[in-house]
Structure 1
Amino acid sequence: MNLFLFYATSPKFGISIDKISKRKGHQDFATVVCNIEPGLLLEVTDSHQQKEIIEVLKQQPIEVRERVDEVSVDMWGGLPNTSLVFDRFHVMRLVNEELNTVR
C-alpha cells in the first residue's frame, strides 16, 4: 500500500523529513518522512544521505509529489517547488552555538 496516497488526503500537504538513530549511541541512521498535519508516518528509509532520500521520494507517483507544498527538514536542503521550513530544534541549536561564540 502506498502510504503517501492513503494518508495525503488534502489537495496540498506538507511533509517532515528527519533522521533517527537506529540504536542509541551508534551512527547508524534511518530517515522518517511524515505528513505534518496529522503527524502520520509515510516512509522510513534506511539512509540519511540526501541523494538517496530524494531517490526514494521520487518513487512516489508524480501526482502525489506535486501535491507536496511544504517540507520541514533539519536544514539539509529540501525538495524543488516546495516551501522550505527548518524545524525549530535545529534553528535554535544554531542560534545557541552562535550566542556561545560571542559570549
Structure 2
Amino acid sequence: MRRGHDFKTVVSDIETGELLEVVDSHKQKGIIESLSQQPFKVRQAVREVSIDMWGGFTKVVQQVFPKAVIVYDRFHGTRMVVEAVKKIAKQCGFRKCKEQACLLKNGVDLSIEEQEELETRLKSSRRLRKAYAYKEEFRSI
C-alpha cells in the first residue's frame, strides 16, 4: 500500500446502488473480519461479487462468499489490456506516445487520418494487429 493513502473498502448492492458497508481497511484480514460479521446465511446468498484485480480481494471473496462468482471490474481489465498493447507496440519500435496514440485510442473514435495511420502501424506486425484486435474486442464487452 502506498504511503499517505487511506484506503477503504466499499461494499454495495450493484442492482440497487445501496451502500451496504464501508470497511475501514484495505487489508485482507480486516476485510474478512468485517464482512464475516454478516450472518452465514446472508453470505451464502451472495451470487456475484465485482472486485478490482488486487489478489487480496479474490481471496476475501472466496473465503467470505464461497458461492459467489467473481467478476473483475472493467476499468482494471481494460488497463491491463492497454498496457499489453503498449508493450507490444514498443517491441515493434513504436516507443513514443505519439506513435502509439492511434493504437490506444478506441477504434470508433479514430479520425480518417488516424485510421490510416493505424492501418500502417498494424501492417508492420501480425502480433501488434492481433493485440489491437483483442483490445477492441475487450472494449466492446
TM-score by length of 2: 0.52
1:1-103 matched pairs, under 5 angstroms: 26-76=4-54, 77=58, 78-79=61-62, 80-103=66-89
Counterparts of 1:67 and 1:59 in 2: how far apart (Å)? 15
Counterparts of 2:49 and 2:5 in 1: how far apart (Å)? 25
Q: Cα distance, 1:51 vs. partner?
A: 2.5
Aligned-partner residue type, residue 35 of structure 1: D
More helix by share: 2
Report the 3-state secondary structure (helix = DSSP H, G, I; strand = E; otherwise coil) of the residue aligned with 1:66. helix
Give the greater-gyration-radius structure (CA): 2
Q: Cα distance, 1:49 vs. partner?
A: 1.1
Could you tell me which runs of 5 or more consecutive residues in structure 1 were left unpaired when the two chains were aligned: 1-25
Counterparts of 2:32 and 2:9 in 1: how far apart (Å)? 11
Per-residue displacement from partner, 1:18-39 (whole Å, max 9, x unpaired)? xxxxxxxx41111100011011
Counterparts of 1:55 and 1:72 in 2: how far apart (Å)? 19
Q: Does the 8 A contact of 2:45 with 2:67 survive in 1?
A: no
TM-score by length of 1: 0.70
Alpha-carbon RMSD across the aligned residues, in angstroms, is 1.2
Q: Cα distance, 1:69 vs. partner?
A: 1.0
Report the 3-state secondary structure (helix = DSSP H, G, I; strand = E; otherwise coil) of the residue aligned with 2:47. strand
